[in-house]
Structure 1
Amino acid sequence: MRTYGQYCPVVRAIEVLGDRWTLLIVRDMLVGARRFNEIARGLPGLSRALLSRRLRQLQHAGLIVRADDGYALTRAGEDLRPLVFGLADWGARHAFGAPRPDELDPEILMWWMRGRIDTAGITERAVIQVDIADRHRLFWLVLEPDDASVCYNDPGFEIDAVLTADLPTLYRMWVGEIELLDAVRAGDIALTGARWIVRGLPAWLRYSPIAATVRATRPQP
């Protein structure tokens, strides 16, 4: 490993965390990712070979350990939480503008949304078809009392509700720039179907883990 040749704790931290993808792996583990395939699914631009290498490096650095169900953060790994979310705060304030086309991946957005749905208030299966109008793509969120999954092909269940929007609007909602109900009222998102789902989804969907940070940096009306 190449070093910077400076005796400084900032340098030592960069030597551990400065490789491409490393902090994003830590970010995803801080919000609950544990299994190899789960981490890979959330970082589709990262090859599985490089992911394996980065996980080994994080293990060697003492930030993660192998666990029965995949990987777990150590105390040193958990101590990165204020750093990672501090970067989110700085980024939201100083480096976060309109989404660029290369940042808008519908499949990863649906994967993220699936992982942030609170199923505690769901008492029966709810199938929500998500129509991303500008991409001509359909996805299906299948919500059960104890599980939420996303299907990239029609699961064959009866559709209970339909959510329609363009991809930039869905991303802006996801990161906390706009609220789902506000976007529905403004006509930027359409949500139709069974009343209990139309009313429930805004409460079930918890948005991105950094949504509150993004909201806090935006001017208040």
Structure 2
Amino acid sequence: MRTYGQYCPIVRAVEVLGDRWTLLIVRDMLVGATRFNELSRGLPGLSRALLSRRLRQLVHAGLIVRTDDGYALTRAGEDLRPLVFGLADWGARHAFGDPKPEELDPEVLMWWMHGRIDTSALDKRTVIQVEIADRIRKYWLVLEPGDASVCYTDPGFDIDAVLAADLATLYRMWVGEIELLDAVRAGLIDLTGVRWVVRGLPNWLRLSPVAPSVRAAQEPARH
């Protein structure tokens, strides 16, 4: 590992965390990813070989440990939470803006969304078809009591609701820049289907963990 040759705790931290993808791996673990394939699906630009190398480095640094079915953060890893979400606060205030085309991956968004749906109120299977018009793509969120999954091909179940929008609008909703119901009222997002699903989805979908940072950064502009 390349070092900076300075005796300073900031330098030591940068030497551990400054490699490309490292903080994003920690970010995903802080919000619940524990398995290699989960991390890989959430970071598609990261090769599996490099992911393996970064995980070994994090184990060596004492930030994560191997478990029977994946990885877990240590106390040192958990202590990065305020740093990582402090970066979210700073980024939302000083480095955020309109999404760039190369930042918008529909499969990553669907993967993130399915992991943030609260299914505790469900008592039967519920299927939401997500239509992304500008990409001519469809995805299916299959919600079961206590579980949620995303399908990239038609699972063959009856559709209970349809959520339709362009990809950039869905991302803006996901990060908390716009409210789902506000976007529906404005005609930016279409949400149709059986009433209890249409009414329930805004409560079930918990949005991105960085949504509070994005909303807080927007507050000065609202006043």
User: What range is the shorter-chain TM-score in?
Assistant: over 0.9
Identical aligned pairs, as a percentage? 81
The answer for the alignment partner of 2:32 in structure 1 is 32
Matches within 5 A, 1:1-221: 1-218=1-218, 219-220=221-222
Q: For structure 2, which runs of at least 5 residues remain unmatched after alignment? A: none
Q: Which one-letter code corresponds to 1:220 in the other structure? A: R
**Separation of aligned partners in 2, 1:63 and 1:178:** 35
Q: CA deviation at 1:220?
A: 2.5
Q: Which one-letter code corresponds to 2:52 in the other structure? A: S
Deviations 1:51-109 (A, max 9, x none): 00000000000000011221000000000000000000000000000000000000000
Count the aligned residue pairs: 221
- Secondary structure of 1:192's match? strand
Deviations 1:178-212 (A, max 9, x none): 01000000000000011110000000000000101
Tell me the TM-score normalised to structure 1 length: 0.99
Q: Which one-letter code corresponds to 1:112 in the other structure? A: W
Deviations 1:146-193 (A, max 9, x none): 110000000000111111100000000000000100000000000001
User: RMSD of the alignment, in Å?
Assistant: 0.7
Q: Which one-letter code corresponds to 1:120 in the other structure? A: S
The runs of 4+ residues in structure 1 deviating greater than 3 Å are none
**Separation of aligned partners in 2, 1:61 and 1:105:** 31
**Separation of aligned partners in 2, 1:220 and 1:157:** 42
Q: CA deviation at 1:112?
A: 0.2
Q: Which one-letter code corresponds to 1:73 in the other structure? A: L
- Secondary structure of 2:222's match? coil
Q: Which one-letter code corresponds to 1:118 in the other structure? A: D
**Separation of aligned partners in 1, 2:213 and 2:141:** 26
Single out whichever of 211-220 and 165-174 deviates more from structure 2.
211-220
